[in-house]
Amino acid sequence: MHFNISQSAFNQLLQTVSKAVATRTPKQVLTGILLNVEETTLHATAYDLEIGIEDSLDVTPDGTLEIISPGSIVIPARYLTDVVRKLPSTLLTFQVSNPYMADIRSGTAEFHLHGIDAAEFPKLPIFHSAKSLTISSLLLRQFIRSSAYAASTLEARPTLTGIHSTLHMGQMTFTATDGLRLGMFSENIPENPDFSWDAVIPAKSLTELTKLLPEQDMPVTLELSNSHSLFVIGKTHFYTRLIEGAYPDISRIIPNHFGTTVRVDTAQFANAIDRAALIARDKENHMVRMELQDRKITISSNSPEIGNVSESIETIETVGDDLVIAFNSHYVLEALRATGSDQVQVQFNGSNQPFTLHIPEEQNNLQLISPVLMR
Amino acid sequence: MHFNISQSAFNQLLQTVSKAVATRTPKQVLTGILLNVEETTLHATAYDLEIGIEDSLDVTPDGTLEIISPGSIVIPARYLTDVVRKLPSTLLTFQVSNPYMADIRSGTAEFHLHGIDAAEFPKLPIFHSAKSLTISSLLLRQFIRSSAYAASTLEARPTLTGIHSTLHMGQMTFTATDGLRLGMFSENIPENPDFSWDAVIPAKSLTELTKLLPEQDMPVTLELSNSHSLFVIGKTHFYTRLIEGAYPDISRIIPNHFGTTVRVDTAQFANAIDRAALIARDKENHMVRMELQDRKITISSNSPEIGNVSESIETIETVGDDLVIAFNSHYVLEALRATGSDQVQVQFNGSNQPFTLHIPEEQNNLQLISPVLMR
């Protein structure tokens, strides 16, 4: 195994896969990066058994990568990534001479790093004749951003740590809920075949995936097997296990009629809640109070030790009953970020029922929050 | 007490003094910021009894600050700074109506924060007919940067947590040492009166002070009493307590002749050590090895578990004996940063004696490091 590679290209490759390196594990091989050199391609893989990332670089005439002989080895990620990152930005030589010892040379610097037999590295999941569909990376990012934040982080109910991802009649939906709030995003994916798809994907995995999605739009291919999902972004392959078990039926949670509908400027609403949250922050549920009266919203919070705050904003439109409600300010701020529009429509059914936030005139992005019951 | 102030000016004032707010103390008043309004000036003060910062703003015709009535109050810093930071960048009104309750208003937002009686706030140290001198802020930054890093962080020997600052025959010197390394910087301050000055100032305080020093050069006035030192930068007053007790005599530690002198490119030398440190990092003293032979330096490091590294650099000039020595790589990297020049002169007396680093042709910036003894 022997290749020459530009430091920046090698560094980039290692940074991409390093997000899947295991950090706390007794299995040493999982803390490594597998390098596999074929005739014209260098593959790098990391796999912590939860997510796996494989990326590759082909030999090109510009000399970014020159392959002298094939082979494979696993090198502890922490050392490999730091060594490559700290080398000068010129060509470097990577060579396995002595078995399980990699030599990295750049200028007069010469590293010898102990490696592990590539045969010990776990195999990535296999996707044989799996279901597959293609969507835009920007749209995929929106799917994840509008749902993942609402997933549970508690392992007590594993299903709720996932995002329920479905495709039905050409409509794709991502849903996540921790039992106190829910984030949902739907969109038609018409160019894809009309098959059904139903999987619970760990929210943590999808949040990691967003870090690999490029700034500019490009197609992403999704594949689904019984146990795993695969996202292909250019040459980068991102694998994640699925969560077993049926996702709860959330259709009954979402109200279909409302007593009060208001439309507000998102920034005004968010800033008022953010400021009120300063006084509420030492309370367990970051509770702030909202009162709607005469088409005006007053956000307030008080603490016997610290003081109190109130702030009013005008609604853009109000339909229905006046209202007093209390909510977790962090939940509402996160839901407003997940909505991502200049104006937001908020719909209530009194003080004790869940309320929803969505983009006005659109139903495909829905955020739902349970209020804090006032005594 | 009542004033109107631009949010950005108030925010700036509070950020400046907040570095001296106590974070862990049973005395609640020390976690606050004292606001004191005189006829034409607003003063803000924080004082954790170790360092104190006072800054002020005068009434100006542009309306940045308008004073309606004088008075003073202490407000918990954590709430005051966050509230002001999160208000919109317009004018805000600050008013103490009800005793010990401050009202902060901006637009429709209205905060009421509980305060503490200003009489409870500790008095800043007083400087009566104290010794005083003026130096450039850029030079002061260099004094601190070249010494503070070498001070001890262990309270076992309190004196060594300070920087020994002396003025003698017009020459100012800052020295710090933790017993294993030493940083020293001297410069003539000719425009100041010929008096002696001798004080041990906590290195932590001076490191905080550097955060208040402006990017552009301006004069800083230093005052010294028996127990405290004061640095005046424009309108900002920075107070620190002094460390009692005599500073050890370090003159005998610094060698005055050397067996080996090399001159190297600082970046080449630092990069080679930085890379070798990757292999050495799990060892307690981050030990790397340096060999000088035939005017060439080889930096190396090895670890039975990880691997090994070696890298050679050419010296620019070598005088004296060949040498093998081992040192703490972090100490040398910090000393090179403290030197801050493109080339550095390193001088040795064999493998077991301290070695020095300084700017070639200059003696006013001296870094000294004890080697790691090789078995």
CB contact (8 A) between residue A278 and residue B79: yes
The pair of three-digit structure tokens given for residue A188, joined into one six-digit string:
């038609």
A340's tokens:
């991502």
Q: Is A245 exposed, middle or buried (0-12, 13-18, 19+ CB in 10 A)?
A: exposed
**Would the CB atoms of A86 and B307 count as touching at under 8 Å?**
no
The pLDDT value recorded for residue A169 is 87
Q: Which residues of chain A make contact with B279, given a CB cutoff of 8 A?
A: 79, 111
Q: Cβ contacts (< 8 Å) between A111 and chain B: which residues?
A: 275, 279, 307-309
Q: Average pLDDT for residues B295-308, to the nearest whole number? A: 95
Could you give the CA distance from residue B34 to residue B53 in angstroms, rounded to a whole number? 11
Query: Confidence band (pLDDT; 50, 70, 90) for A192?
Result: low
Of A83, A113, A311, the CB nearest to B109: A311
Q: What is the end-to-end Cα distance of chain A in Å, rounded?
A: 70
Q: What are phi and psi for residue B340, nearest 5 degrees?
A: 65, 35
Residues of A in contact with B312 (CB under 8 A): 108
Interval A47-57 mean pLDDT: 97
Tokens 């040795």 sit at which residue?
B348
Nearest-CA distance A83 → chain B (Å): 7
pLDDT tens readout for residues B267-288? 999 999 999 999 987 677 899 9
Contact B111 A312 (CB under 8 A): no
Q: Do A271 and B86 touch (CB under 8 A)?
A: yes
Q: Do A307 and B271 touch (CB under 8 A)?
A: no
State phi, psi for A250 to the nearest 5 degrees.
Answer: -100, 0
CB contacts of A113 in chain B (<8 Å) are 306-307
Interface probe for B, chosen from A301, A309, A329 (most Cβ of B below 10 Å), is A309
- Cα(B315)–Cα(B337) distance, rounded to whole angstroms? 19
The Cα of A232 is separated from the nearest Cα of chain B by a number of Å equal to: 34
For residues B130-149, b (16+ Cβ closer than 10 Å) or e, as one string?
ebbbebebeebbbbbbbbbb
Min Cα–Cα distance to chain A from B326, Å: 18
CA distance B226 to B114: 37
Kindly report the nearest CA distance between residue A296 and chain B, in angstroms: 12
Span B127-169, pLDDT tens digits? 887 788 899 999 999 999 999 999 999 988 999 999 999 998 8
- How large is the angle between the packed helices A137-145 and A203-212, nearest 10 degrees? 140
Confidence (pLDDT) at A193: 66
For residue B111, the distance in angstroms to the closest alpha carbon of chain A comes to 4
| Nearest partner of B102 among B90, B118, B88, judged by Cα | B118
| B88: chain A residues, CB-CB within 8 Å | 271
Q: In what order do the strands lie in the sheet with B355-358?
A: B197-202, B162-168, B171-177, B181-188, B365-369, B355-358, B343-348, B260-265, B317-320
Nearest to B162 by CA among B201, B123, B122, B117: B201
Of A113, A308, A312, the CB nearest to B108: A312
Which SS3 state, helix, strand or coil, does residue A319 take? strand
Model confidence pLDDT, tens digit, residues A61-101: 999 999 999 999 999 999 999 999 999 999 999 999 888 99
Measure the CA–CA gap between B47 and A256, rounded to whole angstroms: 57
* Three-class SS of chain B: CEEEEEHHHHHHHHHHHHCCCCCCCCCHHHHEEEEEECCCEEEEEEECCCEEEEEEEECCCCCCEEEEECEEEEEEHHHHHHHHHHCCCCEEEEEECCCCEEEEEECCEEEEEECECHHHCCCCCCCCCCEEEEEEHHHHHHHHHCCHHHCCCCCCCHHHHEEEEEEECCEEEEEEECCCEEEEEEEECCCCCCCCEEEEEEHHHHHHHHHHCCCCCCEEEEEECCCEEEEEECCEEEEEECCCCCCCCCCCCCCCCCCEEEEEEHHHHHHHHHHHHHHHCCCCCCEEEEEEECCEEEEEEEECCCEEEEEEEECCEEEECCEEEEEEHHHHHHHHHHHCCCEEEEEECCCCCCEEEECCCCCCEEEEECCECCC
CA of A74 to nearest chain B CA: how many angstroms apart?
A: 13
Give chain B positions within 8 Å (CB) of A308: 111-112
CA-CA distance, A39 to A72, in Å (whole number)?
Answer: 12
A54 to chain B, closest Cα gap in Å:
24
**Percent of chain B, pLDDT > 70?**
98
Cβ of B79 within 8 Å of Cβ of A279? The answer is yes
DSSP 3-state assignment of A221?
Answer: strand
| Chain A residues contacting B via beta carbons under 8 Å | 76, 79, 82-83, 86-88, 101, 107-114, 271-272, 274-275, 278-279, 305-313
| B275, B297, B301: best to mutate for the A interface, most A CBs within 10 A | B275
CA nearest to B268 within chain A: A88
**pLDDT score at A319:** 97
Q: Which amino acid is at B9?
A: A
Find which of A92, A108, A313 to mutate to test the B interface (most B CBs within 10 Å of its CB).
A108
Contact B307 A101 (CB under 8 A): yes
Which candidate, B209, B335, B208, B313, places its Cα nearest to that of B263?
B313
Contact call for B274 and A107, based on CB within 8 A: no
Q: Which chain B residues touch A88 with a CB distance below 8 Å? A: 271
Report the SS3 class of residue A8: helix
* pLDDT at B322 exceeding the cut of 80: yes
B261 confidence band (pLDDT: 50, 70, 90): very high
Quick: pLDDT tens for A261-293. 999 999 999 999 999 999 987 677 899 999 999
Closest CB from B278, B310, B313 relative to A79:
B278
CA distance B193 to chain A (A): 49
Average pLDDT over residues B208-222: 96
Query: At A189, is the pLDDT very low, low, confident or very high (cuts 50, 70, 90)?
Result: confident
Q: Do B274 and A86 touch (CB under 8 A)?
A: yes
ipTM: 0.90
Q: Looking at residue B37, what is its pLDDT?
A: 98
> Which whole number is the average pLDDT over B223-240?
96
pLDDT band at residue B200 using 50, 70 and 90 as cut-offs: very high
Flag if A306 and B88 touch (Cβ within 8 Å). Answer: no
Q: How many residues does chain A have?
A: 375
> Shortest CB distance from A306 goes to which of B79, B86, B110?
B79
Which residue of chain A has the CA closest to B304? Answer: A114
pLDDT of residue B153: 95
- In this prediction, residue A178 carries a pLDDT of 96
Which residue from B76, B82, B311 is facing A108, i.e. has the nearest CB? B311
Q: What is the pLDDT of residues B26-44, one digit of tens each?
A: 999 999 999 999 999 999 9
The whole-angstrom distance between A279's CA and the closest CA on chain B is 8
Integer angstrom CA distances of residue B255 from A2, B318, B354, B375: 49, 18, 8, 24
Which positions in chain B touch A97 (Cβ < 8 Å)?
Answer: none
Give residue-wise pLDDT tens across range B69-101: 999 999 999 999 999 999 999 999 999 988 899
**Chain A residues within an 8 Å CB radius of B306:** 76, 79, 113-114
- As given in the structure block, the two tokens for residue A357 are 């936030």
Give the closest-approach CA distance of A105 to chain B in angstroms.
Answer: 10
Cβ contacts from A onto B, under 8 A: 82
Residue ranges of domains in chain A, CATH in brackets: 2-120 (3.10.150.10), 131-241 (3.10.150.10), 260-369 (3.70.10.10)
Nearest CA in chain A to B305: A114
Q: How close is the nearest chain B Cα to the Cα of A311, in Å?
A: 4
Which among A112, A307, A308 has CB closest to B308?
Answer: A112
Residue B375: pLDDT band with limits 50, 70, 90: low
| Angle at the Cα of B328 from the Cα atoms of B326 and B332, rounded to 5 degrees | 100
A125: pLDDT strictly greater than 80: yes
Of B110, B272, B311, Cβ closest to residue A309: B110
Q: What is the pLDDT of residues B64-75, one digit of tens each?
A: 999 999 999 999
In this complex, the residue of A83, A274, A313 whose CB is nearest that of residue B86 is: A274
